[in-house]
Amino acid sequence: MTYELYIGDRTFSSWSLRGWLLLEKFGLPYKTTMVGLYAGTMAQDMAHLPGAKTVPALVTPSGGLLTDSLAMAETLAEENPQAGLYPADPIARAMARSMIAEMHSGFGALRSDCPHNMEHTLVVFEPSDAIMNDVARISELWSMARDRFGEDGPWLFGRYTAADAFYAPIANRFTTYGIPLGVTAQAYVDAHIADLSNRQWRAMGQTVRYDPFPYDFGLKTKPWPIDALPARAVDQGPSENETCPYSGKPVTHYLELDGRTFGVCNAFCRDKTVADPEAWPKFMALLNN
C-alpha cells in the first residue's frame, strides 16, 4: 500500500512540504514525483491526474486523488488510524483540527509578503503591521496548545501531529524573515529548524539552483541557521565505501568531508548529502563507522 505524492520545488513550496510531512513523519509508505512548479511544466507533468492543478497532489493506494493538503490530512488519518496524525485526547484533537483549518485558510498577509524560502535568511526585513497581526495570532495559538497539551515534547501537542506539519512552513518563514517572537514561539520554531525531516527537505531543495532566484528582495542575506558539516562534491574517488549508503548500488558520484572521500549512486544523493550531511542518518553511520 503506497501513496503517490506529487510536489513542487522544495525550497519554495510550503504546501508541498505539508503534504510530504504528513507522510514522512508518520511512517506512511509513499513515493515522490517532482513536478515543474518553477520550471513551467507543472500542467504537463500532472496531465495524467484529472482535476489536479496544484501541488501537492496525492494518489491513494485505492486510486483516489487528493488535491488539497487539508483533505490529505483527513484522509490519511482516516485510512491510517494507528499512525496518530491527530492527538488521541478529543479536546486536543478538536484544537488541532481548528488550528489546522485556520492555518489552511488564514494569515494572508504573512503568506503574500513572506514567500516560503529555505535558501537563506534575510538580515534586515521590516514586517508590516498586517504581518505582525498574523504573527500575534499564530503565537497565541501556539501558546494555547503548548500550555494545555505540550508537556510531553517540543511540539504543539507534545508529540508530533498533523498540526505541526501544517505549521512547519510558518516556522520556516519566521526564520527566513527574522520575525521577532516570544520565548514560547521561538522555542517551537527552533524545534522545527532542528527537526531531521525539515533539514532533509531543505537539503533536497539545495540540489537545485535558480538563476534568476525567484524571491530576490534585494536585501542582504545570511546562511540558514544550521551548523552543517563542511562537505563538498568532488569529481572522482576512490571512496571508502563501494556501495551507496542510501540505495546499496555501486558508487558513481563522490563527496569529501574531513579529508575523507565517500561515494553515492547519483548526483542527487551526493548534493543532498553535501548540503547537510547530518540530516542523513545512513550517511552519518558510514561517516562514524
Q: What is the Cα–Cα distance from 96 to 157, expressed in whole angstroms? A: 8
- Residue 1: what pLDDT? 83
Q: What is the Cα–Cα distance from 121 to 125, expressed in whole angstroms? A: 10
With a threshold of 0.85, does the pTM exceed it? yes
- Residue 83: what pLDDT? 98
Q: Tell how many helices (H) and how many strands (E) occur in the chain.
A: 11, 9
The pairing of beta strand 221-222 with beta strand 65-66: unpaired
Query: In this structure, what are the phi and psi dihedrals at residue 61, rounded to the nearest 5 degrees?
Result: -55, -30
Q: What is the Cα–Cα distance from 224 to 172, expressed in whole angstroms? A: 10
pLDDT tens for the chain, 289 residues long, are 899 999 999 999 999 999 999 999 999 999 999 999 999 999 999 999 999 999 999 999 999 999 999 999 999 999 999 999 999 999 999 999 999 999 999 999 999 999 999 999 999 999 999 999 999 999 999 999 999 999 999 999 999 999 999 999 999 999 999 999 999 999 999 999 999 999 999 999 999 999 999 988 899 999 999 999 999 999 999 999 999 999 999 999 999 999 999 999 999 999 999 999 999 999 999 999 8
Structural contact between residues 120 and 221, judged by C-beta atoms closer than 8 angstroms: yes
Nearest 10 degrees: Cα torsion 89, 90, 91, 92:
50
Closest-CA residue to 188 (of 230, 146, 221, 149)? 146
Region label for 213, one of left (φ > 0), alpha (ψ between -120 and 50) or beta (otherwise): beta
- Residue 117: what pLDDT? 97
- Residue 20: what pLDDT? 98
- Residue 269: what pLDDT? 98
Q: What is the Cα–Cα distance from 200 to 39, expressed in whole angstroms? A: 22
